[in-house]
Structure 1
Amino acid sequence: MTTEEAAPYDLESAVAVVGMSGRFPGAPDLDTYWANLRDGVCSLSAFTEKELLADGADPADLSNPAYVPAHGYLADADRFEAELFGFNRTEAAALDPQHRVLLESAWAALEDAGYAPLNGPSRTGVYVGGSPTEHSLAAATDPALAASIGALQVRILTDREFLAPWISYRLGLDGPSMTVQTACSTSLTAVHLAVQALLLGECDAALAGGVSIAGVRKQGYVHYQGGIFSPDGRCRPFDEKAAGTVPGSGVGVLVLRRLEDALADGDPVRAVIRGTAVTNDGAGKVGFTAPGVDQQTAAITEAWAAAGLEPSAAQYLEAHGTGTELGDRIELEAASAAFGPGGDIALGSVKSNIGHADAAAGAAALIKTILMLEHGTLAPTVDVTSPVTALQGSPLRLVTQTAEWPSRPGLPRLAGVTSVGIGGTNVHVVVQEAPERGAGASAAEPTVLPLSARTDPQLALVAARLAARLREADAPSLADIAHTLRTGRVGMPVRAYVVAAGAREASDKLTALAEGHRDTARDPLGEAWLRGEEVTWPALDAGVRRVRLPAYPFAGESHGALTLRGPAARTTPDSPSPAPENELEARVAELVIEALDLDGRAGLERTYFEAGGDSLTAVHLAGRLRDELGIDVPIQLFLEPITLKDMTTRIVETKEHGEADGALDALLSEFEAES
């Protein structure tokens, strides 16, 4: 199909992006990310020697003349609201920062789509990937950690292969759950797989994206002549002075649904994915890490063919754009061949802003492109002063200044996004601006807006941010906001509500609520909401729909991260040390408290499951009781509805009476063999 014949939307083969979330260098949320992109901000950090030393850098590294003190640094990557996701402090500290940040981003993306994270669309799949991390490597080589929580638990909490399953488990998503790994093209490959799964009917919604947090410390890198890293801490894609990329961290998650379903269900469509394709260079390149021309070209042409369009329909290409001489040259050659002569296609790369986010790079690029489509604005590639001569005579022109993205009569804005992975996996996605959305439903009478959070300060933030959203020119209707708050948010312990008949009144009352003043208006359902009851809200206008509202303000504490220069590992005895009889119960209680991360002996008044116990913790605790105290615990003891205090007494009695449980011993041996 030619450009002139292109249908704006094909419901049968199009996929809607209905929600997005991301955290990138210099940007804790997508509003800030867009402002930085639009304004041409380079968010790469240059660290002082004092900052690096304070974060544990080796002075010998800093004295190396080739050491570059720069990074696409992600602030607060060590913070995590563990309680929200059901992790105790011990588990949260062991959990890889990538897992923590990705879990919160998945939550926020579902909220952005107007869905309650713990009650998402049925058959929601998860397709995500991540990068190798310092935390994971340190955990795998720390015998003290394995002795503390068990080797299998260490692997489950740190290995990137469990990125997708943790999201599915903690958010209750029962579609396919796959951790994807194609190196630098991981997150865009994840998007491709999610799109294919939706079109094949394997799921009805999908989370797709990736995360890369190699470490949470401020650190630089060593530049090697001929390597991929920049000598000056800046990335200049498609510039004559381009000399390499800069490593960066980030996370990006998109919520996808079939376009037909999204429109029918009133989802907030942010963009439309028209086609995707994946290829591999095979042996057709000069080396394993080098990119190849032919299969990059094939990925582009196949994706546009899947979209039912000619590549010449594109107005913009968000390139992989690493800023390396070889990579940029090959990518320009491949793109020029795909898009053909005579075109006028804008070109850019987000790596100039945030560095190379590895497994999250494709998600960062796709989210940037969607934000540009939404705002009708082309964001510049920064730090470029002399575009490469190879652009002369090609269909591509590098965007170096913020500019309007021109619309075309009868045709939507269209763009392509490319991602290339070491090893040869090339991905291209065709993305199109969202269909126009009509006016929202109107509220004919005073409406209850229910709010909740885990803590009072967070509730104040929820209210303040919603008040600010209501004051914006493009604020959704009050009925749509009420619908989204009632059906698209998780009810938490700290609650409030306001009753308003218009946006101005609602904003004023929300501002007052944020300042500690509760609404004086009373509503029976609102009062039930305050008491923590399950409320059946009355139906609103028939045209009501989900809208994008400010996401939940995570406020977790720092759980740190393991480093390869961490404290020396603790040692454990090779054989159980006999405990005096009058100390045995105290020692057992200590192990129970530590395994379940209880707040002292007061926590022993709860049952095992009330205290957050699960099967893995039971196996771990039983193993420590056996290895450290020589007690074989009957496995059924953990299932009995007794307090932990009584369970502790029973464990001591087991030691005294010499009971054993062969089934548990076999289970422990099986877990130990696997780990």
Structure 2
Amino acid sequence: MNDVPEGVPGGVPDGAIAVVGMSGRFPGAPDLAAYWANLQGGVCSLTDFDAPAGEVGTKGLLADADRFEAGLFGFHGAEAAALDPQHRLLLETAWAALEDAGYDPLRAPARTGVYVGGSPTEHALAAATDRELAARIGATQVRILTDREFLAPWISYRLGLDGPSINVQTACSTSLTAVHLAAQALLLGECDTALAGGVCVDSVRPRGYVHVDGGIYSPDGRCRPFDEKAAGTVPGNGVGVVVLRRLEDALADGDPVRAVVRGSAVTNDGATKVGFTAPGVDRQTAAIVEAWEAAGLDPARAQYLEAHGTGTELGDRIELAAAGAAFAGASHVRLGSVKSNIGHLDAAAGVAAFIKTVLMLEHSTLAPTVNVESPHPDLELSPFRLVTEAGAAWPRPADGTGRLAGVTSVGIGGTNVHVVLEEAPPRPAPAPAEGPFVLPLSARTEEQLHSLTGWLAKTLGASDAPPLAAVAHTLRTGRTALPVRTYVVASGPGEAAEKLAAGVRDPHPLGEVWLAGGEVAWPEAPEGTRRVGLPTYPFAGERLGALTLEGHVQHVQEPAAPEADLEAAVAAALREALGLDASDEALDRTYFEAGGDSLTAVHLVSRMGDDFGIDVPIDLFLEQLTLAELAARIVELRAGDDELDALLDEFEAEAES
């Protein structure tokens, strides 16, 4: 490892943070393999579509943004439909990022923190004014399921993560600020593992934007960072999460280190700029300088800068001036901006740039900035050279030290972030281990299991397939055991790939216990075995749609049901709150078996009083009653209230006589 300060044990740089896992979904890319293929190929993933007159019909659209595998995370139907698409996507991406790090998402390391942020959404705005939704599931529940301040807590709660759970909001620099804060928390010992990232899904439907002369949006639907014709940015949607650990811990625990955060810093422009929304030069420069100082490295050693690069004329000029001052001693620093490929992802923009840079370090390849025709003239007087060619090699420095890059993100309001990234340190290959090995796989459905086995077969059939001992160790300890299962037994990656593809399963005692759904006492992994990155869970949730600001129905209070229909009306209210179908079988489960929780119970108690005039004790929901029995008991409470009212009326009549 290069630049190791004297006295640091184990040859690990002081303050180094390992990137051990990543997951993301971006325009044109349902996973990071597709993301990298698009980036290195110079693909512009912006989508053009028909838009109303006066709008530009272009956006970085995110496919399947309204799908969610609610059952995997314990949400019942009504909750899942109300849950904001940003929450849904961030939950699934956090799950996949932990799997990529080789950790079971439901058994993550102790003291795992969450640092994430999101953008404003149409769904949340519509939910806040939807009286019918509030009447069905409760106003408090609506807020908890849609407000972006609960993005981090939902991840912590559903995955059982007990470290700090912090929502981050710094506008366009949100997700890179989240990375910085997570790294600082690790260095301070506030947590031992951290998830960091962000999400932006302002709407799940194609929506154009209005171009205004002098505004931030492009007139023609293309983003051209650092081009002399740069005239604006294009909005986009996406989500990304990275898993961070202290480098010394990651190396000791056999984590798959993808890159290293050497330093980071955050500043704000304060009042030193022309307006609140305008960027400033001096404090952008300070963020870069302070980050490289924190890394203990000279900025002149940088080989690449992933810039904020919005493609606005003013923003690009200011960023070039700021970065030029910070990297004044460097020469031929390559420059790029992922916004040209996928648009400006707002709260997820920084993590999209961060993940792009990690992928470039891993593949020793520079991805091009697209849509550029003539680089900006200011580049000629700067240390930067814009990367525009596809497939450009990223050579290691002549002195043999590691590749180094900077990533910058700038937020409206003036919060500037810079992160210094270094390629992963070389690690000796573990000694070969003798097989055979049992490879366990599981999913929630047969279709998902088929997808997973196919993806793993492709991975193990590749020329750079990981050692099978590492694969077995990762599958055994780094995946949640789900109900639909299979396994294969093999001694090498090629053999495993063939058996997975053909569906061959040689009987094995441990494998059969696994297949039967039992807890398996797997043998200890061979000494030196490390976790490896493998295909992550193939989410297959249904389309849940999203609320819109157009056409959602205002709630109209319905008259109370006639007495004869009261039990049916109460049962219907229970179904509605729990998102159940109208079948009789749906009422055969208990309240908690049907997905109920304490908050929904509080809402139902209130609703029973408001809609039916029945005072229901909340303890009734804790009893082991089917929903049909629960509805009947609630109606009985109404009858009891009526009898008491009749007695009181009788006493009052006697008192008056």
Equivalent position of 1:15 in the other structure: 17
Q: CA deviation at 1:523?
A: 1.2
Amino acid at match of 1:522: P
Residue 177 (structure 2) aligned to one of 174, 178, 189: 189
CA contact (8 A) 1:632 1:659 kept: no
Q: Secondary structure at the match of 1:429?
A: strand
Structure 1 residues 336 and 446, CA gap change in structure 2 (3 angstroms) = same
Equivalent position of 2:379 in the other structure: 391
CA contact (8 A) 1:342 1:394 kept: no
Structure 1 residues 544 and 279, CA gap change in structure 2 (3 angstroms) = same
Q: Secondary structure at the match of 2:316?
A: helix
Q: CA deviation at 1:341?
A: 4.2
Equivalent position of 2:233 in the other structure: 245
Equivalent position of 2:260 in the other structure: 272
Determine if the alignment matches structure 1 residue 508 to structure 2 residue 508. Answer: no
Equivalent position of 1:610 in the other structure: 593
Amino acid at match of 1:639: L
| TM-score for both structures, normalised by structure 2 | 0.95
Equivalent position of 1:324 in the other structure: 312
Equivalent position of 2:655 in the other structure: none
Q: Secondary structure at the match of 1:337?
A: helix
CA contact (8 A) 2:4 2:14 kept: no
Q: Secondary structure at the match of 2:381?
A: coil
Q: Report which stretch shifted further, 591-600 or 89-98.
A: 591-600
Question: 1:448, 1:566 → 2: CA distance?
Answer: 54
Question: 2:431, 2:595 → 1: CA distance?
Answer: 43
Q: CA deviation at 1:556?
A: 0.6
Residue by residue, what CA displacement relative to the aligned partner does 1:459-479 show, whole Å, maximum 9, x if unpaired?
001100000000111111111
Residue by residue, what CA displacement relative to the aligned partner does 1:341-370 show, whole Å, maximum 9, x if unpaired?
452211110001001000000000000000
Amino acid at match of 1:564: L
Q: Report which stretch shifted further, 146-155 or 187-196.
A: 146-155
Equivalent position of 2:396 in the other structure: 407
Q: Secondary structure at the match of 1:392?
A: helix
Q: CA deviation at 1:9?
A: 6.4
Question: 1:3, 1:296 → 2: CA distance?
Answer: 25
CA contact (8 A) 2:79 2:578 kept: no
Residue 531 (structure 2) aligned to one of 523, 546, 556: 546
Residue by residue, what CA displacement relative to the aligned partner does 1:540-566 show, whole Å, maximum 9, x if unpaired?
211111100001111111000111113
Unaligned runs of 5+ in 2: 644-657
Residue 496 (structure 1) aligned to one of 472, 481, 486: 486
Question: 1:362, 1:241 → 2: CA distance?
Answer: 24
Q: Secondary structure at the match of 1:658?
A: helix
CA contact (8 A) 1:247 1:355 kept: yes
Q: Secondary structure at the match of 2:481?
A: coil
CA contact (8 A) 1:441 1:480 kept: no
Equivalent position of 1:666 in the other structure: none
Equivalent position of 1:360 in the other structure: 348
Q: Secondary structure at the match of 1:586?
A: helix
Question: 2:3, 2:426 → 1: CA distance?
Answer: 20
| TM-score for both structures, normalised by structure 1 | 0.92
CA contact (8 A) 1:94 1:154 kept: yes
Q: Report which stretch shifted further, 348-357 or 384-393.
A: 384-393
Question: 2:430, 2:466 → 1: CA distance?
Answer: 7
Residue 431 (structure 1) aligned to one of 399, 407, 421: 421
Q: CA deviation at 1:11?
A: 4.0
Structure 1 residues 644 and 4, CA gap change in structure 2 (3 angstroms) = closer
Residue by residue, what CA displacement relative to the aligned partner does 1:126-161 show, whole Å, maximum 9, x if unpaired?
000000011111111111111111111111111100
Question: 2:300, 2:325 → 1: CA distance?
Answer: 11
Q: Report which stretch shifted further, 651-660 or 330-339.
A: 651-660
Q: CA deviation at 1:581?
A: 3.1
Aligned 1:476-625 pairs, distance under 5 A: 476-513=466-503, 518-519=504-505, 521-573=506-558, 577-599=559-581, 600-625=583-608
Unaligned runs of 5+ in 1: 53-61, 661-675
Residue 166 (structure 1) aligned to one of 154, 161, 179: 154
Amino acid at match of 2:222: R
CA contact (8 A) 2:4 2:11 kept: no
Question: 1:343, 1:619 → 2: CA distance?
Answer: 64
What stretches of structure 1 move > 6 A for 4+ residues in a row?
A: 2-9
Determine if the alignment matches structure 1 residue 643 to structure 2 residue 626. Answer: yes
Equivalent position of 2:649 in the other structure: none
Amino acid at match of 2:575: I
Amino acid at match of 1:41: V
Q: CA deviation at 1:104?
A: 0.6
Q: CA deviation at 1:641?
A: 2.2
Equivalent position of 1:628 in the other structure: 611
Equivalent position of 2:453 in the other structure: 463
Amino acid at match of 1:527: E
Q: Secondary structure at the match of 2:374?
A: coil
Question: 2:206, 2:561 → 1: CA distance?
Answer: 45
Q: Report which stretch shifted further, 295-304 or 215-224.
A: 215-224
CA contact (8 A) 2:276 2:413 kept: yes
Equivalent position of 1:214 in the other structure: 202
Question: 1:659, 1:10 → 2: CA distance?
Answer: 75
Question: 1:567, 1:212 → 2: CA distance?
Answer: 22
User: What is the aligned length?
Assistant: 637
Question: 1:659, 1:260 → 2: CA distance?
Answer: 70
Equivalent position of 1:256 in the other structure: 244
Q: CA deviation at 1:236?
A: 0.5
Q: CA deviation at 1:607?
A: 2.0
CA contact (8 A) 2:300 2:329 kept: no
Residue 32 (structure 1) aligned to one of 27, 31, 34: 34
Residue by residue, what CA displacement relative to the aligned partner does 1:45-75 show, whole Å, maximum 9, x if unpaired?
111x3xx5xxxxxxxxx222xx211001111
Cα RMSD after superposing both structures? 1.7
Question: 1:282, 1:10 → 2: CA distance?
Answer: 36
